[in-house]
Structure 1
Amino acid sequence: MGSAAAQIARALGADTVYGTVGSSDKAEYAKRFGYDAVFPREDFLGAVRDATGGRGVDVVLDPVGGPMRLASLEVLAPFGRVAFYGEAARHPDLNLPLLPLWKNNRALTGYNIGDVSRRAPDLLRTHGLAALGLVASGSGHIDVTDILPLAAAAQAHERMQAGRNVGKTLLAV
């Protein structure tokens, strides 16, 4: 999702886009998609503070969850927001203190594609067509790095769980 997120952010007019990676060997690959800088996930809190001169960022997209979600709240600029759309790390749900959100003018929001598809399918269609429009116009690129037979689906999932995948893996049916 990170490669798509950077491209969409640029298409929507973001001046500066930072990213995180689970392992530093993926940083150079990630920069190809429009990031100004890419930080190792475990160091991103300090790195974002340094990169922004302490101001923080306007938006954090969080698919990881757990401690990363809490840290993301700390790097927000005034009126910044964390938008989470997954729980890749499978941490237990967080109990968040709400007063710091209010006192620092910060927000937390979620995006769940399953819920949108059930309750607002026309909106989901609009989102999907907008994203595909970026690809069709050449403003976005989906980097397919591997095509495996359907019989190798378990292998593809193991790679993703271990964080060894780079780019998109397709299963040929």
Structure 2
Amino acid sequence: MMTRESAWELLTEFTQSESLRKHALAVESCVRAYARKFGEDENKWGIVGLIHDFDYEKYPTAEEHPFKGNAILAERGWPEDVRRAIMSHAEYSGVKRESQLEKTLFACDELAGFITATALVKPNKSLAEVEAKGVRKKMKDKAFARSVNRDDIVNGAAELGVELEEHIGFCIEAMKGIAKELGLEGVQPQA
């Protein structure tokens, strides 16, 4: 049975890094929001977002991730469409994105990381301070969050058929719903 609880257990079994766990939560929130928008299975889509990088900490190379994770999921009886969506989020996996879920996961993955990075440089480290226009501006600064692939963000929105700034704004709003869990609810000024 595929539940959010079993997905969280899988993630925490393989991922000790707080920042990677928060990334998983951020991607989950964006993918869930799109599931609601598209009238899809929110639980299933959220689970895919939550576990898409569960193997990354143990298997961080392009030769291993997400291939090792796919093998682990298959061994544990996870559905083929869930495994396929996770495989398709890696450009180099050779798995072409076809379903709406696959396209959504890809579109949200790098963007969620970039939005997080943008929030963390704001004065109060808060998602409430992040706007789509500001994220677009930060994307032009190649030195900022340099590990985030800007092409994936742009191409992800295009594959999804959504204008880039609208996509960014949609994901910001989705992440605001779990700002506290992401550690991005803001810091209170010292009195």
Q: Same fold (TM over 0.5)?
A: no
**Higher Cα Rg, which structure:** 1
With a CA cutoff of 8 Å and minimum separation of 6, indicate the structure with the bigger relative contact order.
2
Higher strand share: 1
> Which has a greater percent of helix?
2
Question: TM-score, normalized by length of structure 1?
Answer: 0.37
